[in-house]
């Protein structure tokens, strides 16, 4: 056993110990005992005080640091308790012969997390009217002041019945979907709903139809469930059901965005909707209807929801308050076919018991008071103005090189080059302009991608949108000129070599 030296050995004594009491390893504002403990740990793990060496007597260290002696004694006691030091009666306190690893010494796994975009043309940004925000604060404050016992115990895995009933009323009036509140489950968003329901109705390795191009986040959620996404092309009428039948006739489900297809913005035609429901019946499959942005309709009345046509027989309807109120709520919902309510509720209870309760009442108040509908009316006007400004600027500034269909619904638009354009043109233009948004190619999986951009217009000041659109259009024209010049030079060289 290694002999621990004592303070009586003059050669081992250190009159003072170099301590850093103000570095990043010390918590500002903490007690003197805690700051001293952190500084001592740093000195020990950093090799300033080596294993087996004596630490200064408490009186000496108190004089050196200006701390009270009892703070030094407490810090030493904690070092001993944590295994960084040992005490020998009559000899003093010593650095332990073997010290435990500190958190800072352990190599940390670096996780690449792409931060959400917030710049102009970014998708997923929203605006909430000041009056609606004031109402929400008022409702939330009132609910907190009337804090009830429902927050002190575990609740229904589906969430509060009050909010589920308010959502059921909203779906009936806004989307023509009649369902009982018991068929609604609150979630943290559509991806959360996907994971819960998919894990209940399908097993690992099962196939599920996905739109191509489509929403990448939904595809990732499906893959994380161990399922096999099957890419089904989209045309001007929505998902081409016949293609899905050809490649995966016995798939267990389909994921679609029928009201406003992501990213192309097309509406699934009524004929295609009925065709999809016929397939689901024939294959004994389910259809996930992601009805995102359905509340933001600018021209004409929206088509009846797929779940409304199906009467919630085979369609699982998913929605969220992330865009209609704000993302930080983390409140979404799904409406389930009656036969799925029991198994999906049991699955939810096994996964995370039940949703948070603190803000459910405030959201229910927003829906029931009319504040939610009033906010939608006001921001819908702002978004329509932003949409028109972005579309007209892109079209004019690009000299018509960009095709910009003006969407009748939603919070983004697509700007496309001629289909024969090299996809690298869009990538180069976006990088040169330094704008947010997506490349259209990023939403494709197997189908040959169209060259262009997916650009958000909601939640951005119009002057910023216009300036960003002008930069993107100018960069697009420059990238096109460079590409055409390069292609022209290639053709000339080929002609010369042929002759």
Query: Would residue 353 count as lying in a domain?
Result: yes
Q: How far is CA 410 from CA 62, 229, 257, 458, in A?
A: 67, 25, 11, 9
Indicate if 320 and 171 belong to the same structural domain. yes
Token pair of 92 as six digits:
């003093």
Query: Would residue 17 count as lying in a domain?
Result: no
- Mean pLDDT of all residues belonging to the chain: 90
Indicate if 66 and 185 belong to the same structural domain. no
Query: Would residue 133 count as lying in a domain?
Result: no
Query: Would residue 415 count as lying in a domain?
Result: yes
Q: What is the CATH number of the domain that holds 209?
A: 3.40.640.10
Indicate if 383 and 409 belong to the same structural domain. yes
pLDDT of residue 498: 53
Indicate if 205 and 329 belong to the same structural domain. yes
The number of domains in the chain is 3
Handedness of CA 438, 440, 441, 445 (dihedral sign): positive
Token pair of 431 as six digits:
């990088």
pLDDT of residue 301: 73
pLDDT of residue 4: 38
Indicate if 493 and 443 belong to the same structural domain. yes
Element (DSSP H or E) covering residue 94? strand 92-95
Q: Identify the residue whose tokens are 């999906």.
A: 344
Q: Is the pLDDT of residue 64 over 70?
A: yes
Indicate if 358 and 431 belong to the same structural domain. no
Q: What is the pLDDT of residues 80-120, one digit of tens each?
A: 898 888 988 778 889 988 887 664 544 556 777 777 778 88
Higher pLDDT, 367 or 495: 367
Total Cβ atoms within 10 A of residue 199 = 18
Higher pLDDT, 154 or 494: 154
pLDDT of residue 457: 96
Token pair of 109 as six digits:
């796994």
Indicate if 299 and 434 belong to the same structural domain. no
pLDDT of residue 109: 64
Indicate if 449 and 468 belong to the same structural domain. yes
Q: What is the CATH number of the domain that holds 60?
A: 1.10.10.10
Q: Is the pLDDT of residue 140 over 90?
A: yes
Q: Is the pLDDT of residue 473 over 50?
A: yes
Q: What is the pLDDT of residues 191-238, one digit of tens each?
A: 999 999 999 999 999 999 999 999 999 999 999 999 999 999 999 999
Indicate if 315 and 231 belong to the same structural domain. yes
Q: What is the CATH number of the domain that holds 489?
A: 3.90.1150.10
Q: Please compute Rg for the chain using Cα positions.
A: 31
The domain in which residue 62 lies consists of: 32-95
pLDDT of residue 44: 87
Query: Would residue 188 count as lying in a domain?
Result: yes
pLDDT of residue 118: 80
Indicate if 228 and 268 belong to the same structural domain. yes
Q: Is the pLDDT of residue 21 over 90?
A: no
Which of these three, 342, 369, 396, is where a domain ends? 369
pLDDT of residue 41: 86
pLDDT of residue 1: 38
Question: Please, which pLDDT band fits residue 46 given cuts at 50, 70 and 90?
Answer: confident
pLDDT of residue 102: 60
Q: What is the pLDDT of residues 200-209, one digit of tens each?
A: 999 999 999 9
- DSSP classification of residue 405: -
Angle between helices 371-397 and 462-498 (to 10 degrees): 40
Question: Please, which pLDDT band fits residue 493 given cuts at 50, 70 and 90?
Answer: low
Question: Please, which pLDDT band fits residue 486 given cuts at 50, 70 and 90?
Answer: confident
Which of these three, 79, 95, 111, is where a domain ends? 95
Average pLDDT over residues 171-180: 93
Q: Whose CA is closest to 38, among 64, 63, 75?
A: 75
Query: Would residue 119 count as lying in a domain?
Result: no
Q: What is the pLDDT of residues 354-374, one digit of tens each?
A: 999 999 999 999 999 999 999
Higher pLDDT, 499 or 136: 136
Q: Is the pLDDT of residue 7 over 90?
A: no
Query: Would residue 90 count as lying in a domain?
Result: yes
Q: Is the pLDDT of residue 15 over 70?
A: no
DSSP letter string over 163-183? HHHHHHHHHHHHH-----GGG
Question: Please, which pLDDT band fits residue 145 given cuts at 50, 70 and 90?
Answer: very high
Average pLDDT over residues 14-22: 77
pLDDT of residue 494: 55
Q: Whose CA is closest to 344, among 101, 155, 158, 208?
A: 158
pLDDT of residue 6: 39
Query: Would residue 146 count as lying in a domain?
Result: no
Indicate if 166 and 225 belong to the same structural domain. yes
Element (DSSP H or E) covering residue 255? strand 253-256
pLDDT of residue 273: 97
Question: Please, which pLDDT band fits residue 17 given cuts at 50, 70 and 90?
Answer: confident
Indicate if 350 and 383 belong to the same structural domain. no
Q: Is the pLDDT of residue 445 over 80?
A: yes
Q: What is the pLDDT of residues 289-348, one digit of tens each?
A: 999 888 999 987 777 899 999 999 999 999 999 999 999 999 999 999 999 999 999 999
Which of these three, 70, 95, 120, is where a domain ends? 95
């Amino acid at each position: 056993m290694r002999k621990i030296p004592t303070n009586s050995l003059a050669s081992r004594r250190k009159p003072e110990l170099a301590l850093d009491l103000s570095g990043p390893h010390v918590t500002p504002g903490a007690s003197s005992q805690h700051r001293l403990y952190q500084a001592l740990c740093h000195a020990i793990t950093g090799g300033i005080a080596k294993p087996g060496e004596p630490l200064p007597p408490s009186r000496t260290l108190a004089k050196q640091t200006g701390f009270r002696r009892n703070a030094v004694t407490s810090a030493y006691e904690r070092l001993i308790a944590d295994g960084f030091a040992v005490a020998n009666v009559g000899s003093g306190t010593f650095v332990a012969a073997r010290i435990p690893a500190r958190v800072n010494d352990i190599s940390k796994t670096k996780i690449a997390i792409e931060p959400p975009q917030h710049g102009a043309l970014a998708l997923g940004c929203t605006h909430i009217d000041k009056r609606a925000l004031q109402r929400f604060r008022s409702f939330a404050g009132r609910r907190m002041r009337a804090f009830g016992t429902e927050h002190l115990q575990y609740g229904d895995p589906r969430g509060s019945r009050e909010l589920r009933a308010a959502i059921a009323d909203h779906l009936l009036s806004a989307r023509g979907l009649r369902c009982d509140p018991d068929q609604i489950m609150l979630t943290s968003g559509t991806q959360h709903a996907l994971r819960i329901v998919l894990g209940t109705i399908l097993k690992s390795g099962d196939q599920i139809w996905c739109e191509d191009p489509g929403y990448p986040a939904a595809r990732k959620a499906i893959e994380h469930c161990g399922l096999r996404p099957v890419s089904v092309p989209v045309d001007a009428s929505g998902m081409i059901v016949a293609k899905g039948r050809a490649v995966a006739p016995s798939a267990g489900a389909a994921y679609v965005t029928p009201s406003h297809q992501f990213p192309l913005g097309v509406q699934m035609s009524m004929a295609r909707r009925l065709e999809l429901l016929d397939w689901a019946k024939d294959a004994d499959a389910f259809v996930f209807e992601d009805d995102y942005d359905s509340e933001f309709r600018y021209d004409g009345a929206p088509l009846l929801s797929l779940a409304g046509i199906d009467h919630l027989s085979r369609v699982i309807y998913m929605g969220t308050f992330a865009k209609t109120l704000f993302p930080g709520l983390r409140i979404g919902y799904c409406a389930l076919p009656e036969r799925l309510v029991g198994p999906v509720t049991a699955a939810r209870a096994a996964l995370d018991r039940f949703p948070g309760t603190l803000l459910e009442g405030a959201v229910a108040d927003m829906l029931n008071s009319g504040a939610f509908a009033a906010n939608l009316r006001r921001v819908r006007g702002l978004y329509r103005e932003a949409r028109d400004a972005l579309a007209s600027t892109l079209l004019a500034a690009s000299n018509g090189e960009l095709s910009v269909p003006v969407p009748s619904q939603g919070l983004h638009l697509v700007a496309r080059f001629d289909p024969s354009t090299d996809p690298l043109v869009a990538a180069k233009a976006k990088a040169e302009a330094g704008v947010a948004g997506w490349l259209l190619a990023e939403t494709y999986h197997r189908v040959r991608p169209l060259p262009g951009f997916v650009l958000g217009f909601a939640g951005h000041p119009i002057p910023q949108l216009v300036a960003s659109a002008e930069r993107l259009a100018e960069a697009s024209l420059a990238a096109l000129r460079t590409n055409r010049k390069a292609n022209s030079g290639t053709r000339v060289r080929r002609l010369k070599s042929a002759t």
